Amino acid sequence: MVPFSSTNGNGDQVLVEENLFLRTLILNRPRQLNALSFQMVSKLLELFVAYEDDCNVKLVILKGNGRAFCAGGDVAAVVRDINGGDWRLGAKFFWKEFILNYVMATYSKPQVSILNGIVMGGGAGASMHGRFRIATENSVFAMPETALGLFPDVGASYFLSRLPGFFGEYVGLTGARLDGAEMLACGLATHFVPSTRLLLLEAALCKLDSGAPATISSILDEYSQQPHLKENSAYHKLAVINKCFSRRTIEEILSTLEREAVNSADNWISATIQSLQKASPTSLKISLRSIREGRLQDVGQCLTREYRMVCHVLQGEVSKDFFEGCRAILLDKDKNPKWEPSRLEQINESMVEQYFSKVDDEEWEDLKLPAKFTFSASLLAKL
Amino acid sequence: MGSPSPADQVSRRAQALAGHLRGLHTSMEPSLSPSPCLQYSPPELASPPSDFNLSDMRKLMDGHNLQDRDWLFGLMIQSKLFNPRVAGGRVFVSPDYNQSMEQQREMTMKRIHYLLDCGVFQEWLTGRGPEVEMRKFALHEVIGMYDHSLAVKLGVHYFLWGGAIQFFGTKRHHDKWLRDSENYVIKGCFAMTELGHGSNVRGIETVTTYDSKTGEFVINSPCESAQKYWIGGAANHATHTIVFSQLNINGKSEGVHAFIAQIRDTDGNICPNVRVADCGHKIGLNGVDNGRIWFDNVRIPRENLLNSVADVSPDGQYLSAIKDPDQRFAAFLAPLTSGRVTIATSAVYSSKMSLAIAIRYSLTRRAFSITPNQPEVLLLDYPSHQRRLLPLLAKTYAMSFAANYLKMIYVKRTPESNKTIHVVSSAFKAILTWHNMRTLQECREACGGQGLKTENRIGQMKGEYDVQSTFEGDNNVLMQQVSKALLAEYIAVQKRNRPFKGLGLEHMNKSCPVVPSQLTSSTLRSSQFQTDIFCLRERDLLIRFAAEMSQLQAQGLSREYALLQSYQLAEDLGRAFSDRAILQTFLDAEAAVSSGPLKSMLSLLRSMHVLIILEEDASFLRYGYLSPDNAAGIRKEVTILCSELRPHALALVSSFGIPDAFLSPIAFNWIDANSWSSVQPQQGATVPLQI
């Protein structure tokens, strides 16, 4: 086994191990919980593109160093950039990140992501589009964007909308945390492997001389376990989730939840209502619409639309909640964002519509996806 | 040439045999490379990016409530009740038509309850105003794209049962019935048709009398032909029905009236003095429980007469503000208009689905090489295949605008516009549903053997949608009503010496349009020429029809008998009116779009729509609106238009905005969908798609 071939400077934010036909990419910013910097995204994109044409690579593993797989995009850095001047600097980060997501979603070789820790936001984007996602007892998944004044991006409108029933709306709007067993149950993970068996699993994958999904699948099966879904798991509430989160608008979702709360003493419902009440109202509205549109679109259309949306968020013409959210949660850490508009009823249809329109800026352009047409059903992320 | 000598024959035979043997030998050599397997190549790969904006086109087509539509698509895709199935790595939703009739009916009811719980039917009966009605139409259209049975079952409950209470009833009925109906606490049906009387509602034989001693009406089916027939919802689920019946008061027949009668209790048991039987298995719509009802002197409270048009006092006096029984009858039929509106629009969406599937398939399926060793030719690259599908595509665009116009005049209706709505809805219902059946058949054939698979939808839809030309007014009867209405208008104008006003007939006030004798390509594509020739035909046929009628009546025939004799002209006139009216809706939609690629595309589609009618409808040659030379020129122009539309075919069906899951496996990677691995049990740990 080759330990790893170091990447170039940049403090080795992405480590690479080469084994026969396998390349293992390790996100290596453990102190920042492997939050994706612009450098990391660029490096990952470069590597993924190179491996696609390299016949010596048949399988790519992505994992994180330390207790996180990846806690998200480094939005604090993005906000610093923008506060320093131009929103376009921030847009650049998302452009590159979404292109990476698209490359992963349409990859001709299997990607195995080992999610042995925190998987949030951008971390989900870097794993969910791949063919295999391994959860462990250490996995913690969340899309916390609505609490940050953003919306679930990185193609989340594609993968969340394809979860069973309206679980995707629930996860995307409330930022609810899921453990490994829940990830497997809802389909965010394809396998559950106890963390103690990960080394053996990786060793087995090292020996592979085939990238056939069926072969990889059978190896993963050998190390997999059926985890126990905890008693109070949100996934047991799918019936209520479907009933409430299928409603047409955020307002109706909330009022249906409140009606449910009257009939039950369930803490889960009040916690759910609370998380919606704490989230940015603008974020909730655009997130719901994004997931709903995403359900009927392919992954490229989803990312293109999300790129438009994120540019509007960065421009801040309708709302500056993203900056306020980053201030309150990531910078000042007072956890008390002052959303503006502060109430759902202050956000009308045309304000929401604005986020889905082209950006009115001469230099701006829609996300340009690399031409990829060789989708193979066996390699699509099974969601 | 003489016949070859026996020696020649022997030697040729020997050569041929040697050839076979050589062939046999070489074919066993491993070096011979097999011809490469067919690869699926998505239509997007071969089609240039569209120069018009797809979502703008979709907005124009769908016209309204796009987000509500997408929400409902999502509700269906996300529920296991809608029978999601995976093929070629994609999920498709479509009912399991292999289920028994009973199972299909139960599934329809389960799906209704699911949609009800999701709040889809909110305000469908308790809401008022154009916005509510347009939203209701949009959602109903989307439901029909999933399954016609589901849409029809809902249509009977909300549009017919609910509509009858809204329109024939008064406040006491609204307060009592609408909210419970909206929430499906009450399940309604609509008993108009009888075994002996369908289109001729005035001839129905069910009789209702009033018993002033008890203050009750007594409904009776006096003979077998009076049994109510085809009553959607009656066989299994309905608790209540609207009953259409002759009303006899004090021995005098006051004509057809509508009553509410309960037919089942809350436990689903049939009420006393009511008999119900099933209509049985049908060629389609088996998810709808059509039934038959007999009434054996069923007693209902006096308040159950829907009394907006006429009432009976407690002591048994007949009271009506409308004295003329003809007008009274017309008032009763008004709610059927909403049914015709929904039928016409759902026909357009059905055409859209079949075209989207057939055209996507024709952009990925190849057959025959034109030159040896070259790839086989894409179906849609055959001019003949273009000619089969692209004119139907253009017509579907035209009819989409017509349907939008129809919905618009319906929701903005006033007492003055009732006649227009009646005539336009009759014409459009007939034309759009006929178009749909023709489109379905052509698309089915265009998909070849794959079109025969139920999973590919089009073939099944033929059975599911066939009923559209019959229910809510037989198409032929409706078209006769159109020409009758035009004739009445013509006679009124002549008699009162006033200009034409309404029904789009104003062009008759101007001088007769002149069609140039030489028709160039640019003339053929001009909206002026297109309008002129449609107006010319309508004007001439109306005049001819009126002349023939008056001639026949002058010979002593009654008006009714003369109408029967003139059916050929009447049919041609009905078509002429419809084509002209549909073109007008197209032009109006086009005018609202600012110049650019979208407008150019619409103009191309419009030209195709008009020219194909000029080519196909014999009346243009029959009555001499076109010369044979002109007709030949038009035929040529159609092929040019086909080749101009060909590069846009994918974009034009993508603009329909139908989610992939509502199309079918042949619309996507049909090689993957049919691969050996697709029929194998899934390997390894798989995650259930839905729980």
B49 near A CB under 8 A: no
pLDDT of residue A76: 82
Position with higher pLDDT, A348 vs A88:
A348
How sure is the predictor about B32, in pLDDT bands with cuts at 50, 70 and 90? low
Mean pLDDT along residues B225-253: 97
A377 near B CB under 8 A: yes
Position with higher pLDDT, B50 vs B206:
B206
Q: Please say if the pLDDT value at position A2 is more than 60.
A: no
Of A373-377, B279-283, B344-348, least confident by mean pLDDT is A373-377
CB neighbour list of residue B355: distance below 8 Å, 6 or more residues apart: B389, B392, B393, B396, B439, B443, B653, B656
**B232 annotated ligand binder:** yes
First to last CA, chain A: 33
pLDDT of residue B341: 97
How sure is the predictor about B25, in pLDDT bands with cuts at 50, 70 and 90? very low
pLDDT of residue A88: 87
Residue type (1 letter), B588: D
Q: Do B683 and A217 touch (CB under 8 A)?
A: yes
Helix, strand, coil share (%) of chain B residues, nearest 5 = 60, 10, 30
B88 near A CB under 8 A: yes
Tokens of A325: 């959210």
Q: How far apart (Å, rounded) are the C-alpha atoms in residues A244 and A239?
A: 9
Q: Do A161 and B74 touch (CB under 8 A)?
A: yes
Which chain B residues are Cβ-neighbours of A189 within 8 angstroms?
687
Our CA dihedral for B306, B309, B313, B314, rounded to 10 degrees, sits at 0
Q: What is the pLDDT of residues B172-185, one digit of tens each?
A: 999 999 999 999 99
CB neighbour list of residue B210: distance below 8 Å, 6 or more residues apart: B216, B217, B218, B247, B249, B302, B312, B316
Partner residue facing A164 (CB), from B41, B677, B690: B690
Which chain A residues are Cβ-neighbours of B689 within 8 angstroms?
164, 187
How sure is the predictor about B31, in pLDDT bands with cuts at 50, 70 and 90? very low
Q: How far apart (Å, rounded) are the C-alpha atoms in residues A56 and A12?
A: 23
Q: What is the pLDDT of residues B571-617, one digit of tens each?
A: 999 999 999 999 999 999 999 999 999 999 999 999 999 999 999 99
Residue type (1 letter), A192: F
Q: What percent of chain A has pLDDT over 70?
A: 94
pLDDT of residue A366: 94
Q: Do A247 and B70 touch (CB under 8 A)?
A: no
How sure is the predictor about A330, in pLDDT bands with cuts at 50, 70 and 90? confident
pLDDT of residue B322: 85
Nearest alpha carbon to residue B485 among B422, B539, B532: B422
Q: What is the pLDDT of residues B121-158, one digit of tens each?
A: 999 999 999 999 999 999 999 999 999 999 999 999 99
Angle at B540 between CA B511 and CA B396, to 5 degrees: 100
Q: Do A373 and B683 touch (CB under 8 A)?
A: no
Q: What is the pLDDT of residues A282-326, one digit of tens each?
A: 999 999 999 999 999 999 999 999 999 999 999 999 999 999 999
Q: Do B677 and A378 touch (CB under 8 A)?
A: yes
CATH number at residue A30: 3.90.226.10
Q: What percent of chain B has pLDDT over 90?
A: 86
Mean pLDDT along residues A227-241: 96
What count of residues does chain B have?
691
Q: Do A293 and B70 touch (CB under 8 A)?
A: yes
Backbone angles phi, psi at B244, to 5 degrees: -95, 130
Q: How far apart (Å, rounded) are the C-alpha atoms in residues B348 and A286?
A: 32
Q: What percent of chain B has pLDDT over 70?
A: 93
Q: How far apart (Å, rounded) are the C-alpha atoms in residues B145 and B155?
A: 14
Mean pLDDT along residues B671-685: 75
Mean pLDDT of chain B: 93
DSSP characters over B158-217: IIIIHHHHHHH--HHHIIIIIHHHHTTSS-EEEE--BSS-SS-GGG---EEEEETTTTEE
pLDDT of residue B47: 81
How sure is the predictor about A5, in pLDDT bands with cuts at 50, 70 and 90? very low
Q: Do A252 and B70 touch (CB under 8 A)?
A: no
Residue B612 burial (CB count, 10 A):
22
How sure is the predictor about B690, in pLDDT bands with cuts at 50, 70 and 90? very low
Mean pLDDT along residues A200-219: 93
Give the number of domains in chain A.
1
Q: Do B683 and A214 touch (CB under 8 A)?
A: yes
Which chain A residues are Cβ-neighbours of B118 within 8 angstroms?
243, 246-247
How sure is the predictor about B685, in pLDDT bands with cuts at 50, 70 and 90? very low
Q: Determine the residue of chain B that is closest to A372 in CA distance.
A: B45
DSSP characters over B224-285: GGGSEEEEETTTTT-SEEEEEEEEEETTEEEEEEEEEEE-B-TTSPBPTTEEEEE----SS-
Burial class (CB in 10 A: 0-12, 13-18, 19+), A348: exposed
Which chain B residues are Cβ-neighbours of A187 within 8 angstroms?
687-689
How sure is the predictor about B684, in pLDDT bands with cuts at 50, 70 and 90? very low
How sure is the predictor about A371, in pLDDT bands with cuts at 50, 70 and 90? confident
Q: Determine the residue of chain B that is closest to A167 in CA distance.
A: B78
Mean pLDDT of chain A: 93
Nearest alpha carbon to residue A297 among B77, B50, B60: B77
pLDDT of residue B18: 52
Its domain, for residue A34, covers 2-382
How sure is the predictor about A75, in pLDDT bands with cuts at 50, 70 and 90? confident
**B420 annotated ligand binder:** no
A278 near B CB under 8 A: no
Q: Determine the residue of chain A that is closest to B68 in CA distance.
A: A248
Name the residue with tokens 């509508």: B258
Q: What is the pLDDT of residues A81-132, one digit of tens each?
A: 777 678 888 899 999 999 999 999 999 999 999 999 999 999 999 999 999 9
Of A241-250, B89-98, B328-337, least confident by mean pLDDT is B328-337
pLDDT of residue B144: 98
Burial class (CB in 10 A: 0-12, 13-18, 19+), B326: exposed
Which chain B residues are Cβ-neighbours of A295 within 8 angstroms?
70, 73-74, 77-78, 659
How sure is the predictor about B624, in pLDDT bands with cuts at 50, 70 and 90? very high
Buried b (16+ CB within 10 A) or exposed e, B360-381: bbbbbbeeeeeeeeeeeebbbb
pLDDT of residue B686: 40
Domains of chain B and any CATH numbers? 188-325 (2.40.110.10), 333-656 (1.20.140.10)
B690 near A CB under 8 A: yes
Q: Please say if the pLDDT value at position A8 is more than 80.
A: no
Position with higher pLDDT, B437 vs A76:
B437
Q: What is the pLDDT of residues B481-533, one digit of tens each?
A: 999 999 999 999 999 999 999 999 999 999 999 999 999 999 999 999 999 99
B687 near A CB under 8 A: yes
pLDDT of residue A77: 84
Q: How far apart (Å, rounded) are the C-alpha atoms in residues A299 and A154?
A: 10
A10 near B CB under 8 A: no
Distance (Å) from the C-alpha of residue A296 to the closest C-alpha of chain B? 6
Partner residue facing A377 (CB), from B44, B78, B88: B88
Distance (Å) from the C-alpha of residue B184 to the closest C-alpha of chain A? 17
Which chain B residues are Cβ-neighbours of A355 within 8 angstroms?
none
Distance (Å) from the C-alpha of residue B402 to the closest C-alpha of chain A? 27
How sure is the predictor about B44, in pLDDT bands with cuts at 50, 70 and 90? confident
The alpha carbons of chain A give a radius of gyration, in whole angstroms, of 20
Q: How far apart (Å, rounded) are the C-alpha atoms in residues A270 and A256?
A: 12
How sure is the predictor about A9, in pLDDT bands with cuts at 50, 70 and 90? very low
Q: Determine the residue of chain A that is closest to B662 in CA distance.
A: A296
A32 near B CB under 8 A: no
CB neighbour list of residue B331: distance below 8 Å, 6 or more residues apart: B308, B309, B322
Q: Do A296 and B687 touch (CB under 8 A)?
A: no
Of A33-37, A43-47, B13-17, least confident by mean pLDDT is B13-17
pLDDT of residue B221: 98
pLDDT of residue B30: 46
Q: Do A378 and B89 touch (CB under 8 A)?
A: yes
If contacts are CB pairs under 8 Å, which of residues 104-163 in chain B contact chain A? 117-119
